[in-house]
Structure 1
């Protein structure tokens, strides 16, 4: 950033272009008379005293006593710290007033963000991958697969469960490294590109053929995420064919019940004993339990749940918005151990 651009940012503190010129001149050249300032700063002579009064009011300059006035700048750290303090105090006062003035019931406005710029869309997807805590579910065509490849690989290497559906165009790209770290399926045909992070945020990227436009919607609304997750599972995931399945590692972390059930079935069918740690909610509040995974209970289009046995009892566990299971899952940490023959 150039010095000129740096000083222009003083406009954020309420300074006009001429006020910035005067303050900059005094900061860089030291105390001066009004005549000298007019010459050095390049401001109109008739305006200069108004500018001085404004800068005095804002606490940015000082004037010497006596008949011959000398003007000097208040140091940046002193002047701007005072302004920032006043702005912070005003912010807190205004926020408190708005909060106290809100009606008791307010309209719920879900978070929705419309994006029609491919660079913005892919950067948002990249940020979601980088910020994931447990799980990334995604379907990608070749251009976004190329761009997000290394970030998805990094996520898998730091322990995130990375679930990917690719399309036929991926045959033109080497995904051999991802195959060793992520769970990947290939769908026979194209469908919308979707990303779901930790069941907390989702992006749907749409290629509208009729209008020849591309756009994406980013949202953090649980019911909408549930619908998109359901669509992904039934329309994108189920018709697809495995390229790489769930591999043995220290633990898998899941936020989504159908992925949990899929992993449980894969491991059990290959002779593994499973234990799990579940964090979730019941009708009586939060639960945090550990036990042996006993199997799954899946009815297509109705439920994807699994059973965990503790010293107390056997619990059924479903998705975050489930209505019929004992526990609404927020997180499953799954551990697999090969059964000795």
Structure 2
């Protein structure tokens, strides 16, 4: 079994190679650290670099300003501190990264401008697995400040139950919660808060809307969902459908109530 120290050493040596050092150069520099002035023979032994190559490796490291060499006999060398030795390399990489970021930003602007000129606007959404969906519902319920609207079938109802404690708290804090349950759902007042405004209809797709901005749509298999952050066209369409269904339900309930009153007067 490989020890943690061995794994860490390999990661450090790999990092040195990514910084531009060869395998032998990385090993020699790493084994020089913390030893002060030592002979070329000693460093060849501790770094497992062939003695025939150690002098050429040390000279390469000297040219890269990573070691200091005393050319008196016996030849002695020591490492330059990593912070000092790699400062120029770090600056070089940082300049490259900053330049790449600027290039990517310019490319993104070109892409967005081209799409706008064609009347196209790019939007993104996230696909969550079942476990992440449950956690995201709990998180969004907890963070809601104004409203939670949902259309849910029995599967969505099961997921909602996982956030019952958060629902109670957000309702107490003033968030309005309206849920249209599928006719097949069984609402349990002992599990979900009484303060939830609820209606019933035929619901096939589970949709949650938080603060009129975050929207979570569950697929029918119940294995994943789509999380959309938007206050534009897609969300407004879904919200209008919710409001229409909610208001139609109220009208139907009013008609039923009027019918019952009429029958009682006969």
Distance 1:228 1:45 in 2: 74
Q: For residues 173 and 134 of structure 1, do their structure 2 counterparts lie closer, same or farther at Cα, with a shift above 3 Å needed?
A: closer
Pairwise CA distance, 1:224: 0.9
Describe the superposition over 1:158-189 as per-residue Cα deviations: whole angstroms up to 9, x where unpaired. 4444434455545468335x334xx3315355
Check whether the contact 2:217–2:225 (CA below 8 A) recurs between aligned residues: yes
2:149 aligned with 1:137: yes
State the 1:227 CA deviation. 1.7
Q: Classify 1:51/1:22 alpha carbon distance in 2 versus 1 (closer, same or farther; 3 Å).
A: same
CA distance in 2, matches of 1:64, 1:207: 68
- Counterpart secondary structure, 1:203: strand
Question: By how many angstroms is 1:217 displaced?
Answer: 1.9
1:191 is matched with which residue: 196, 201, 204? 204
Which residue does 1:112 correspond to in 2? 125
2:70 to 66, 73, 97: 66
Q: What is the rounded CA distance, in whole Å, between the counterparts of 1:43 and 1:11 in structure 2?
A: 19
Q: Provide the alpha-carbon RMSD of the alignment.
A: 4.8
* 1:199-235 deviations in Å (ceiling 9; x for gaps): 2231211114xxxx74322223411111222233334
Distance 1:134 1:154 in 2: 13
Q: Distance in 1 between matches of 2:185 and 2:98?
A: 53
The residue correspondences of 1:202-221 to structure 2 (distance < 5 A) are: 202-208=215-221, 214-221=223-230
Give SS of 1:122's match: helix
* Contact 2:62–2:68, Cα closer than 8 Å, also in 1: no
Give the number of the structure whose residues are more often strand, by fraction.
1
15-24 vs 215-224, which moves further: 15-24
- Equivalent of residue 232 in structure 1, options 226, 236, 242: 242
Q: Is the 8 A contact 1:136 1:198 kept in 2?
A: yes
Q: d(CA) in 1 for partners of 2:164 and 2:16?
A: 39
Q: Distance in 1 between matches of 2:48 and 2:77?
A: 19
1:63/1:207 CA distance change after superposition, 3 Å: same
The answer as to whether partners of 1:165 and 1:240 remain within 8 angstroms in 2 is no
Unpaired segments ≥5 residues, structure 2:
116-120, 251-266
Name whichever structure is richer in helix by fraction: 2
- SS of 2:163 mapped into structure 1: helix
Question: Do the aligned residues in 2 keep the contact of 1:26 with 1:72 (CA within 8 Å)?
Answer: no
Deviates more, 1:14-23 or 1:159-168: 14-23
SS in 2 for 1:70: strand
1:66–1:24: structure 2 CA closer, same or farther, 3 Å change rule? closer
The answer to whether 1:123 aligns with 2:135 is yes
Residue number among 143, 146, 149 corresponding to 2:164 in the alignment? 149
More off after superposition, 106-115 vs 159-168: 159-168
Q: Provide the TM-score with structure 1 as the length reference.
A: 0.47
Q: TM-score, normalised by structure 2?
A: 0.58
- What corresponds to 1:174 in structure 2? 190
Q: How far does residue 86 in structure 1 lie from its aligned partner after superposition? A: 5.1
Structure 1 unaligned segments of length 5 or more: list them: 242-341
Q: CA deviation at 1:51?
A: 10
CA distance in 1, matches of 2:16, 2:244: 50
1:68-90 deviations in whole A, cap 9, x for unaligned? 22235515xx7788766655544
